[in-house]
Structures are given as C-alpha cells and as structure tokens.
C-alpha cells in the first residue's frame, strides 16, 4: 500500500469517527419526544419533552391509574402529534402523515386522556359503592349479633344528602297531597308533629299482661293485670278534644317516657286471618293514674260488662306517649311496649 493510500485511509477513518460522535451528541435533542414517551409509559418523573406539537403529560404522579390501554394509547397518539411537529425522523414517518395527521393525533390523545379520566371516575365510584356496602354491613354487626342474622346493608345512594345516603321519601308533609292532621281522629291526613324524644334502651318502656282469665261468660266482668316498666303515667291529651298526634314525645328529667297505656278487648271473627282494624273494640280504656316510673309496677284493669257474645276475644295493652303514639325505641329490633292475650268467651 502506498503512503498516499495509507494517508487517505487514515483520513476516512477520522471522518467516520467524528460523524459517529456528532450523531451521538445530537441524538438526545432530536429524539426528545421518544424519550418523553418512554418516560410516560414508565412513569418516571425526570423526563420532560423538549419539542413536538403536543407537550408531554406530566408523569410525576408516581402511580398507574390501572389502565394499561390508556398509557399505550397516549404514547402512540403523542408520537403522531410529534410527527406533525417535525420531531420524528422523516425516514420513520409513514407516507401521507402531515399536519392533518398531527391534528388527528392531538385529538386522539385528548380522547385517550378523557377516557382515562372517565375510567378513573368509574373506578372511584365503584370503590365508593363497595366501601358503602362494607360500612353498611359493619354498622349492622352489633344488631346482627343480637338477633342472629344479618340485616341487608342500606341501599347505595348519593351520600352527603342529609339522609345517610338513603332514598328517603320525605321527612315532613311538604310533598304530601293530604290535608294536615289537626289533632282529631281523622284520616287520611299528614302529621307534621315531630317525633320528639326517645329513651335510652335501658329506660325504654315495656308492658306485660301478667294475669288474665282463659275463659269467661258472655256479658260477665273480668279483670286483667298489667305490669308496666319505665313508663311515667302522667300525660294524656284527650283524642276527642283534639290532642291526638298533636304533641311530640317527651321524657321526664330522669329520661323515662311520659304518657299512659291503653287497654282494648275485641271479638275476633276468625283466628286464621288478620281482623278488620276499622270497628271500635268492645272495650277500651286509657290509664293515666300518675303512677309508674323506673322499675315495674302492676295495674289491674276491670273489663266492665265483659264481652257481648260467645267466641274468641283478644285483649291487648300498649303504652302511649302524651299524644297516644307507641313510644319510640332506641333500636329497630327492640320489642315495643305491648302485649295481648286471647280469651274464650262462652
């Protein structure tokens, strides 16, 4: 090989080395969009796009939203948008891709982002519903242990609406088409009177018929004994005077229900089906004797004149607040203050 050939070969080798160095030096700037895309898919926080038609999405959220398709779609669409901006190597650009394709790529990228946001919202809604269901079951656990079976969780609702997330028909009469109740025994009406006070479970009133005859003769007086607990029998607004459902429920200073109790006896036409509730009973008495209170005591009720004919009589007792409602209870699974017996009338 001649000296001239040797020199020419050496010069070509130097030029090749310099060209390779120049490509390595310029490559990061020319491929900024590609680096940004890789960073988005991998969710690194340092890589930022340095050029292109669309700026790269910030990827410093540190977590994937659970949508793999969302990330892939964003990367592909961002490449198309960058191609329109001249950042992609023309040799890699598909034929016919120009400004229109770049605009379409940007629109698709926006759509991908919107889809991702919608999916995130749906996932959050599903998670909220699941949490609501779990909370409903958890809240029911104390009652479930008491009664030995699980109560269904509350229905899913919007939450934060003042109704514990439940679908409530109303809490007053503003949406009712009925006339307001006026304190007299008239219906159908809508009662605006608030429920009022409710006693703690250990102070809730209860009643029990402790003595009653099994058999009586028609027209014959008989007596039943009623044990009352935690009921202060000092409050009675006459229903005939307009005091029915007129007054809210109130407790005394010690937290016991103020009110009275009722006794009623009626003849049953059948013991195989529920009776008609409309007819007046054969006997009714409201007892407000200023007795009662904490603990239990007993009141004897005489059914004057007895039952009118042979058959089966039902005698029931139930407590009432000052306006004749059965007192409220702290828990839904507490037994109300009532009792009933059946008596054979000969």
Give the per-residue pLDDT at 291. Answer: 97
CB atoms within 10 A of CB 319: 27
CA–CA separation, 65 vs 37, rounded Å? 17
Give the per-residue pLDDT at 34. Answer: 34
Give the per-residue pLDDT at 46. Answer: 34
- Decide if 275 contacts 316 (C-beta within 8 A): no
pTM beyond 0.75, yes or no? no
CA–CA separation, 101 vs 108, rounded Å? 10
- Please give the chain's pLDDT, 346 residues, in tens: 555 555 555 555 655 554 554 444 444 433 333 333 333 333 333 333 333 333 333 333 434 343 434 444 444 444 444 444 444 443 444 444 334 444 444 444 445 444 544 455 455 545 544 444 444 444 444 545 555 565 665 555 444 568 999 999 999 999 999 999 999 999 999 999 999 999 999 999 999 999 999 999 999 999 999 999 999 999 999 999 999 999 999 999 999 999 999 999 999 999 999 999 999 999 999 999 999 999 999 999 999 999 999 999 999 999 999 999 999 999 999 999 999 999 999 9
Give the per-residue pLDDT at 28. Answer: 43
Give the per-residue pLDDT at 138. Answer: 43
Domain ranges of the chain: 31-122, 201-345
Give the per-residue pLDDT at 162. Answer: 80
In order of 57, 106, 112, 211, the CA distances from 115 in angstroms are 15, 14, 5, 73
Q: Which class is 201-345 in CATH?
A: mainly beta
CA–CA separation, 197 vs 249, rounded Å? 5
> Which residues are CB-contacts of 21 (< 8 A; sequence separation ≥ 6)?
none
CB atoms within 10 A of CB 19: 10
């Amino acid at each position: 090989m001649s000296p001239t050939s040797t020199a020419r070969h050496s010069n070509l080798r130097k030029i090749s080395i310099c060209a390779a160095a120049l490509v390595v030096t310029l490559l990061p700037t020319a491929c900024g969009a590609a680096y940004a895309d890789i960073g988005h898919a991998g969710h690194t926080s340092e890589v930022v796009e340095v050029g292109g038609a669309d700026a790269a999405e910030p990827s410093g959220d540190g977590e994937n939203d659970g949508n793999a398709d969302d990330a892939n779609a964003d990367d592909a669409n961002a490449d198309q948008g960058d191609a329109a901006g001249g950042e992609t190597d023309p040799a890699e650009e598909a034929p016919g891709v120009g400004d229109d394709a770049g605009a379409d790529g940007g629109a698709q990228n926006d759509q991908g982002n919107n889809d991702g946001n919608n999916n995130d919202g749906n996932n959050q809604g599903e998670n909220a519903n699941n949490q609501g269901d779990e909370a409903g079951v958890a809240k029911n656990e104390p009652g479930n242990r008491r009664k030995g079976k699980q109560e269904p969780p509350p229905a899913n609702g919007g939450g934060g609406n003042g109704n514990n997330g439940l679908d409530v028909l109303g809490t007053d009469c503003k949406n009712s088409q009925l006339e307001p109740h006026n304190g007299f025994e008239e219906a159908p009406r809508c009662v605006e009177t608030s429920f009022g006070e409710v006693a703690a479970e250990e102070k809730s009133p209860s009643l029990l018929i402790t003595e009653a005859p099994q058999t009586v003769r028609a027209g014959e007086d008989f007596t039943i004994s009623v044990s009352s607990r935690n009921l202060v029998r000092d409050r009675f607004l006459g229903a005939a005077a307009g005091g029915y459902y007129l007054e809210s429920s109130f407790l005394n200073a010690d937290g016991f229900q103020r009110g009275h109790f009722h006794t009623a006896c009626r003849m049953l036409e059948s013991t195989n089906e529920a009776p008609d509730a409309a007819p007046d009973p054969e006997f009714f008495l409201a007892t407000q004797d200023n007795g009662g209170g904490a603990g239990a005591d007993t009141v004897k009720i005489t059914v004057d004149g007895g039952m009118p004919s042979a058959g089966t009589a039902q005698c029931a007792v139930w407590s009432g607040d000052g306006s004749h409602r059965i007192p409220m209870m702290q828990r839904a699974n507490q037994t109300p203050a009532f009792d009933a017996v059946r008596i054979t009338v000969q």
